[in-house]
């Protein structure tokens, strides 16, 4: 095999004529065309990607949500489509009561001899406030058909603990994981055994060992290969180009100090490692339009051009300060060149929203999305908080409705409630659903929610009036209310005029989140629903919507967390629950949609 081949993270590139040169930063600048970041908006951190022939595949982190390991596909690095998930069943992933920020961190996607591999690790306990963590035992799953989510194997667990697992490529760059003698390497991050004396830092460092991939068993003692003066070195990816191995690491933590470093070695994955001359490779600060950037992975396109994907956040400048992004950490793309056998990302410049690169173009991610629940299976992109212990929904019992059977856990309980979520990807948009729910207990509720975690959410839902008598035959004794719950826990109730009519629930997203509803008139056969209420809010711009309350973006994203960490982004969803009792009647949702904002 020609050792001058260039790795595309698991794909054997065509042999390149020796007269051709890898683009450097000068030739790259001449061929720049504008495109926009992020390439995958919304809660999509820690991207890892490969190319197989003309197809790019990319995976991001899901933390406490299932299905895990979302897989995106593209043919041009700009337009990406969700095609499935690798972790879809309880035999692969059990997440039950993790803190916010627990669960699956920083998956790595690789390809070898016709087989796709995803390496992952899941935190069962993550309590940084008390410096209390259980280091996860990583694992991999594999498939020969990345388009089929059901085809991914059950996990093979590693002996080496740590998060952000990565496999190491062959020295001749044919494939991933195996060296010339078929040795497989695994690098992960965990706390140094011998901590830095007198320094109150995390001491999270990169360790590497050899492993038997068939069993996951370690075949060597882990060796520390990279630590950081910041106290955090993570997100390791090791590549080989020419005679050098390259170790890329995310350092400084995933907040404002986040950045990317590179080392290289002529010897092998165990080192010794030579520190790059221009570390960090770039640095975005606290006053830039893109912040917290790092955690890069590399790929080449069919023309031999190198690219990196990485995470970043998009804060909003308001009243002289930067307000934290509601989207959390998203996936960004930057071009990469080589100078003196060292990587240069974006010419060493800062990561920006509007960007240049060869053969690329502008693409506007559509706002509109809708699910009418007409299929017997859920559309891709719905997520559950934690692994459900039983099926609590149906798409067939009442056709064209999502029927939820609310379980006995409220939204503020760490375990899995009856809750279905989707990622917010646009700042200005409207989230809407229609709900039929006639509760028989004042301890049950169904509705729609703005969600960050079980400490931080705001909702609007249907409940039985506190003074109702559901066993009575008198319809006035079965009165319903609509309740808006603020993230602070305060609630606003308003009476509904009917005991069974469908209710449309709306969350208008923008500079704040506004919560409203419309009670529909009884539907005659062949007729559409019409409104039976009028707005009581002067801010209403759409007839029929009654606004109950609002919450600022700042209050949502900056709400304090007593435990865990905010590694995710804003989601919106549908729920039904009982407080220590199940819902004896189902909640039927007629549709869910994002659309361009009607209310700003």
Residue 113, pLDDT score = 84
Residues 322 and 393 in one domain: no
Query: Is 364 inside any structural domain?
Result: no
The C-alpha atoms of residue 108 and residue 57 are separated, in whole angstroms, by: 11
Residue 599, pLDDT score = 66
Residues 277 and 375 in one domain: no
Residue 67, pLDDT score = 99
Residues 323 and 379 in one domain: no
Residues 328-368: tens digit of each pLDDT:
999 999 999 999 999 999 899 999 998 776 778 999 999 99
C-alpha to C-alpha distances, 546 to 258, 478, 486, 531, nearest whole angstrom: 43, 22, 16, 11
> Among 358, 379, 403, where does a domain finish?
358
Residues 446 and 309 in one domain: no
- Read off the pLDDT band of 266 (50, 70, 90): very high
Residue 176, pLDDT score = 34
Backbone angles phi, psi at 347, to 5 degrees: 65, 20
Residues 73-114: tens digit of each pLDDT:
999 999 999 999 999 999 999 999 999 999 999 999 999 889
In this structure, the number of other CB atoms found within 10 A of the CB of residue 177 comes to 25
Residue 168, pLDDT score = 55
Global pTM?
0.90
Residues 404 and 339 in one domain: no
Residues 322 and 430 in one domain: no
Overall number of domains in the chain:
2
pLDDT score of 16 more than 50: no
Residues 3-13: tens digit of each pLDDT:
222 233 333 22
> Among 326, 358, 390, where does a domain finish?
358
Query: Is 487 inside any structural domain?
Result: yes
Residue 537, pLDDT score = 33
Residues 508-536: tens digit of each pLDDT:
999 999 999 999 987 654 444 444 433 33
Query: Is 43 inside any structural domain?
Result: yes
Residues 344 and 386 in one domain: no
Residues 279 and 309 in one domain: yes
Query: Is 17 inside any structural domain?
Result: no
Residues 285 and 230 in one domain: yes
Query: Is 600 inside any structural domain?
Result: no
Q: What is the mean pLDDT of residues 299-312?
A: 96
DSSP 101: T
Residues 377 and 288 in one domain: no
Residues 480-518: tens digit of each pLDDT:
999 999 999 999 999 999 999 999 999 999 999 999 999
Q: What is the mean pLDDT of residues 183-200?
A: 85
Residues 376 and 353 in one domain: no
pLDDT averaged over every residue in the chain: 88
Neighbouring residues of 410: CB distance < 8 A, sequence distance ≥ 6: 417, 577, 578, 579
> Among 338, 358, 378, where does a domain finish?
358
Query: Is 411 inside any structural domain?
Result: yes
Query: Is 562 inside any structural domain?
Result: yes
In this structure, the number of other CB atoms found within 10 A of the CB of residue 233 comes to 27
Q: What is the mean pLDDT of residues 290-306?
A: 96
Cβ-in-10-Å burial (0-12, 13-18, 19+) of 368 comes to: exposed
The C-alpha atoms of residue 102 and residue 387 are separated, in whole angstroms, by: 13
Residues of the chain above pLDDT 70, percent: 86
Residue 61 sits in a domain whose CATH number is 2.115.10.20
pLDDT score of 25 more than 60: no
Chain Cα centroid distance, residue 264? 30
Domain of 38 in residue numbering reads as 26-358
Query: Is 20 inside any structural domain?
Result: no
C-alpha to C-alpha distances, 22 to 26, 336, 338, 356, 458, nearest whole angstrom: 11, 10, 7, 18, 51
Residues 119-177: tens digit of each pLDDT:
999 998 888 888 888 888 999 999 999 999 999 999 999 998 887 777 754 333 222 34
- Read off the pLDDT band of 542 (50, 70, 90): low
Strand ranges of the sheet holding 306-313, from the earlier edge strand across to the other edge: 291-300, 306-313, 330-339, 342-345
- Read off the pLDDT band of 198 (50, 70, 90): confident
Residue 164, pLDDT score = 73
Comparing 176 with 428, the larger pLDDT belongs to 428
Residues 78 and 179 in one domain: yes
pLDDT score of 22 more than 60: no
């Amino acid at each position: 095999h020609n050792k001058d081949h260039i790795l595309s993270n698991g794909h054997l590139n065509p042999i390149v004529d020796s007269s051709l040169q890898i683009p450097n930063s000068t030739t790259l600048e001449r061929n720049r065309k504008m495109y926009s970041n992020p390439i995958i908006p919304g809660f999509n951190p820690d991207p890892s990607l490969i190319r197989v022939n003309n197809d790019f595949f990319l995976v991001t982190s899901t933390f406490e949500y299932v299905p895990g390991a979302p897989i995106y596909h593209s043919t041009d690095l700009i337009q990406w489509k969700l095609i499935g998930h690798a972790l879809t069943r309880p035999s692969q992933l059990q997440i039950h009561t993790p803190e916010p920020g627990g669960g699956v961190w920083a998956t790595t996607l690789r390809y070898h001899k016709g087989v796709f591999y995803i390496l992952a690790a899941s935190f069962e306990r993550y309590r940084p406030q008390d410096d209390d963590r259980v280091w996860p035992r990583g694992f991999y799953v594999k498939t020969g058909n990345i388009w089929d989510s059901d085809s991914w194997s059950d996990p093979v667990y590693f002996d080496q603990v740590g998060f952000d697992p990565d496999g190491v490529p062959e020295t001749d760059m044919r494939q991933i994981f195996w060296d010339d003698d078929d040795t497989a390497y695994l690098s992960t991050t965990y706390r140094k055994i011998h901590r830095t004396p007198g320094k109150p830092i995390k001491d999270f460092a990169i360790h590497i060992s050899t492993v038997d991939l068939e069993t996951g068993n370690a075949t060597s003692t882990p060796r520390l290969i990279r630590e950081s003066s910041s106290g955090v070195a993570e997100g390791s990816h090791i590549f080989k180009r020419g005679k050098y191995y390259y170790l890329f690491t995310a350092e400084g933590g995933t907040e404002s100090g986040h950045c990317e470093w590179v080392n290289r070695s002529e010897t092998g994955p165990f080192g010794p490692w030579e520190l790059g001359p221009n570390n960090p490779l770039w640095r975005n600060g606290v006053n830039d339009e893109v912040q917290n950037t790092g955690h890069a992975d590399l790929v080449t396109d069919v023309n031999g051009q190198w690219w990196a994907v990485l995470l970043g956040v998009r804060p909003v400048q308001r009243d002289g300060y930067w307000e934290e992004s509601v989207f959390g950490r998203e996936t960004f793309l930057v071009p990469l060149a080589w100078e003196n056998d060292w990587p240069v990302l974006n010419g060493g410049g800062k990561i920006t929203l509007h960007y240049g690169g060869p053969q690329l173009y502008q693409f506007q991610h559509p706002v509109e999305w809708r699910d009418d629940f007409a299929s017997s299976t859920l559309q891709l992109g719905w997520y559950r908080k934690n692994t459900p212990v039983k099926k609590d929904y149906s798409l067939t019992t009442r056709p064209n409705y999502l029927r939820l059977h609310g379980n006995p856990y409220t939204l503020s309980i760490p375990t899995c409630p009856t809750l279905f979520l989707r990622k917010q990807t646009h700042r200005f948009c409207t989230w809407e659903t229609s709900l039929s729910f006639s509760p028989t207990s004042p301890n049950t509720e169904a509705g729609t929610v703005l969600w960050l975690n079980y400490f931080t959410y705001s909702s609007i839902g249907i409940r039985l009036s506190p003074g109702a008598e559901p066993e009575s035959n008198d319809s006035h004794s079965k009165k319903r209310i609509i309740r808006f719950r603020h993230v602070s826990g305060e609630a606003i109730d308003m009476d509904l005029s009917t005991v069974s009519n469908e209710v449309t629930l709306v969350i208008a997203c923008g500079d704040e989140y506004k919560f409203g509803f419309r009670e529909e008139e009884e539907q005659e056969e062949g007729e559409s629903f019409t409104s039976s209420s009028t707005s009581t809010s002067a801010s209403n711009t759409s007839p029929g919507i009654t606004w109950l309350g609002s919450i600022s973006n700042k209050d949502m994203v900056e709400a304090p967390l007593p435990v865990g960490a905010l590694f995710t982004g804003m989601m919106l969803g549908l729920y039904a629950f009982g407080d220590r009792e199940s819902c004896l009647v189902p909640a039927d949702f007629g549709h869910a949609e994002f659309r361009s904002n009607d209310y700003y």
